[in-house]
């Protein structure tokens, strides 16, 4: 095959294991042969609508087999896939469509109103459902073998930027392939793997650390639209799930379920957790059921796997992010985590200056501070970029602060993370403003402007924000004063 990228994966799998299940959705299995057929037909349909090599194809919708069909079909044509976060607001979606220059958008029914609201200039818009299925039925199934190399761009995944605008990380076919190889090596995936995909596919971890490695190996992915603790128990028992990924908040909800003590979890072999550190109490709860977490640390720009903590060290190195993945190199320079390897992005879409600033001698600068113990295990100790991770979602304060400054009555503001029992941490806005301004005024003004998870959960008012002699905001001091769970 001339196509060396992800677009060729369904064809390569179909010639090896055509009758094995690739995807299971609503109890309906799709074999690798069926996946290959649908991907090929969609690629022909998109080509017939004018999509060509290098064109960006966006997808907006919850977890569904059509997400993966669109990803692979775009790769068949040498196009670039743009997954969109369904939790974003209309203006945020519109920005990413415009910034990526998407020429096609495939979207799910629940997002139809949002797509109509933003009135995007995207030329080709395909609603999932009958129109999508009609396009596939009317398209040929002849093989497509567009030459695609591992260095060609595969997808643009947006990650919130410190300047208030999200940046599109350009991940090549090679980046994602090498990341998948790292997962195969470090988690010992097998061909009989059955993965539960309830973490969002539009996030890099749910897609690149779980779904794609399993499909590369020839396992099956149970695709569900969203996470629900009770449904999780049912799906594990029904499909004999062996592999799960989630953020700590998801695994906490499972433990808190009344079904936790008696549920049949005997099929589970691999539990991977990321997004934020796993609390020791959560590790202990799963160990009591004979289950151990595999933890990791990564970033969208690294596709995302960077550091990995195996089961053997989950307790002895609790709090650590582990050691580098097999085909990953990590160093700590001036206290900052730097990463290098074939899984690290080629750059930010349309931002050459920003790309140059983030690389030093070929090493990507993570912006995270860390220390290394005598055994080589890395401990992330602070977030240089002030990133807030809430339930696995990245929230950059600068983006929220930019929106806050448009609220009438707000004179100055800052956003910090505060502890939360459910989400790990949530945002809190600290505001200097008019005396008549209330917390409800602020939060209401942000509704619809930002994704719900980005909107601060509380507001604290103050007369001044702490700054140094140069006028720089002192967020450490701000956290000392306003970083308690109870702002009063």
Enter the pTM of the model: 0.86
Mean pLDDT, all residues of the chain: 93
In the numeric block, which tokens belong to residue 303?
Answer: 């596709």
The owner of tokens 């049912």 is 234
Chosen domain end from 347, 372, 397 = 372
The residue among 372, 403, 433 that closes a domain is: 372
Domain count of the fold of the chain: 2
The CATH number of residue 331's host domain is 3.40.50.12780
The residue range of the domain holding 418 is 388-482
Whole-angstrom distance, CA of residue 16 vs CA of residue 33: 10
362 and 394 both lie in a single domain = no
350 and 450 assigned to the same domain:
no
Flag whether 1 is in a domain: no
User: How deeply is 91 buried, as exposed, middle or buried, from its count of CB atoms within 10 A (0-12, 13-18, 19+)?
Assistant: middle
**pLDDT of 351:** 96
Closest CA to 443 of 407, 398, 395: 407
Do 454 and 358 belong together in one domain? Answer: no
Tell me if 382 is assigned to some domain. Answer: no
The span from the CA of 384 to the CA of 368, in Å, is 5
Give the chain's residues under pLDDT 70. Answer: 160-164, 382-385, 468-472, 485-488
Beta strands in 164-302 (DSSP E): 167-172, 194-197, 220-223, 243-246, 270-273, 293-298
Same domain flag for 417 and 293: no
Q: What gap in Å lies between CA 136 and CA 439, rounded to an integer?
A: 50
377 in a structural domain: no
Nearest Cα to Cα of residue 210 among 289, 296, 280: 296
User: Where among 372, 398, 423 does a domain terminate?
Assistant: 372
* Residue 196: both structure tokens together: 């539960």
Instruction: Look at residue 380 and tell me if it is in a domain.
Output: no
25 close to 65: Cβ distance less than 8 angstroms: yes
Helix (H, G, I), strand (E, B) or coil at 12: helix
328 lies in some domain: yes
Residue 438: give its domain's CATH number.
Answer: 3.30.300.30
> Which uninterrupted H or E stretch holds 412?
strand 410-420
User: Which pLDDT value is given to residue 163?
Assistant: 47
Q: 79 lies in a domain?
A: yes
How do residues 16-29 score in pLDDT, each as one tens digit? Answer: 999 999 999 999 99
Both tokens of residue 203?
A: 């996030």
Residue 487 in domain: no
User: Cis ω on the peptide bond leading into residue 304 (within 30° of 0)?
Assistant: yes
Residue 382: partners with Cβ closer than 8 Å, 6 or more residues away: 368, 369
Do residues 147 and 223 share a domain? Answer: yes
Are 93 and 126 members of one domain? Answer: yes
196 shares its domain with 257: yes
Q: Is 266 domain-assigned? A: yes
83 shares its domain with 178: yes
pLDDT for res 138:
97
Exposure string for 278-300, b = 16+ CB within 10 A, e = fewer: beeebbebbeeeebbbbbbbbbb
Same domain for 177 and 76: yes
Co-location of 250 and 163 in the same domain: yes
- For residues 454 and 424, membership in a common domain is answered with yes
> How far is Cα 411 from Cα 438, in angstroms, rounded to an integer?
13
Asked if residue 220 and residue 147 are part of one domain, the reply reads yes
| Angle 121-166-77 from CA coordinates, rounded to 5° | 55
Bridge partners of 244? Answer: 196, 271
């Amino acid at each position: 095959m001339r196509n060396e990228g992800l677009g060729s994966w369904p064809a390569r799998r179909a010639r090896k294991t055509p009758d094995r299940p690739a995807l299971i959705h609503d109890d309906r299995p799709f074999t690798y042969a069926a996946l290959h057929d649908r991907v090929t037909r969609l690629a022909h349909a998109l080509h017939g609508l004018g999509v060509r090599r290098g064109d960006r194809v966006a997808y907006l919708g919850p977890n569904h087999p059509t997400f993966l069909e669109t990803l692979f079909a775009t790769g068949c044509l040498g196009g670039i896939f743009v997954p969109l976060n369904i939790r974003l607001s209309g203006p945020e979606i519109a920005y990413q469509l415009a910034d990526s220059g998407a020429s096609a958008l495939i979207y799910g029914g629940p997002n139809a109103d949002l797509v109509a609201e933003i009135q995007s200039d995207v030329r080709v818009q395909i609603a999932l459902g009958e129109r999508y299925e009609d396009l596939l039925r009317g398209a040929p199934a002849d093989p497509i073998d567009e030459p695609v190399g591992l260095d060609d761009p595969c997808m643009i995944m947006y990650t919130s930027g410190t300047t208030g605008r999200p940046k599109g990380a350009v991940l090549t076919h090679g980046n994602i392939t090498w990341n998948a190889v790292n997962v195969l090596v470090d988690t010992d995936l097998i061909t009989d793997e059955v993965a539960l995909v309830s973490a969002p596919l539009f996030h890099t971890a749910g897609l690149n650390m779980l779904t794609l490695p399993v499909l590369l190996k020839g396992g099956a992915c149970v695709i569900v639209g969203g996470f629900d603790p009770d449904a999780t128990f049912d799906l594990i028992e029904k499909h004999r799930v062996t592999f799960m990924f989630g953020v700590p908040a998801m695994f906490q909800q499972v433990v808190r379920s009344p079904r936790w003590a008696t549920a049949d979890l005997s099929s589970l072999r691999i539990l991977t957790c990321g997004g934020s550190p796993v609390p020791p109490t959560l590790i202990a709860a799963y160990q009591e059921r004979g289950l151990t977490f595999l933890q990791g640390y990564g970033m969208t720009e690294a596709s995302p796997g960077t550091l990995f903590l195996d089961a053997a060290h989950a307790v002895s190195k609790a709090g650590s992010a582990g050691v580098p993945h097999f085909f990953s190199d990590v160093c700590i320079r001036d206290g900052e985590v730097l990463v290098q390897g074939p899984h690290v992005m080629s750059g930010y879409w349309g931002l050459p200056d920003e790309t140059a600033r983030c690389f030093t001698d070929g090493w990507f600068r993570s912006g995270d501070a860390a220390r290394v113990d005598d055994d080589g295990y890395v401990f992330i100790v602070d977030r240089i970029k002030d990133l807030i991770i809430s339930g696995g979602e990245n929230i950059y304060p600068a983006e929220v602060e930019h929106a806050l400054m448009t609220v009438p009555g707000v004179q100055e503001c800052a956003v910090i993370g505060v502890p939360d029992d459910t989400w790990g941490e949530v945002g809190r806005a600290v505001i200097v403003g008019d005396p008549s301004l209330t917390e409800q005024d602020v939060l209401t003004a942000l509704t619809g402007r930002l994704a719900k998870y980005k909107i601060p959960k509380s507001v604290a008012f103050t007369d001044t924000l702490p700054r140094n002699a140069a006028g720089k905001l002192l967020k450490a001091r701000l956290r000392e004063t306003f970083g308690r769970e109870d702002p009063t």
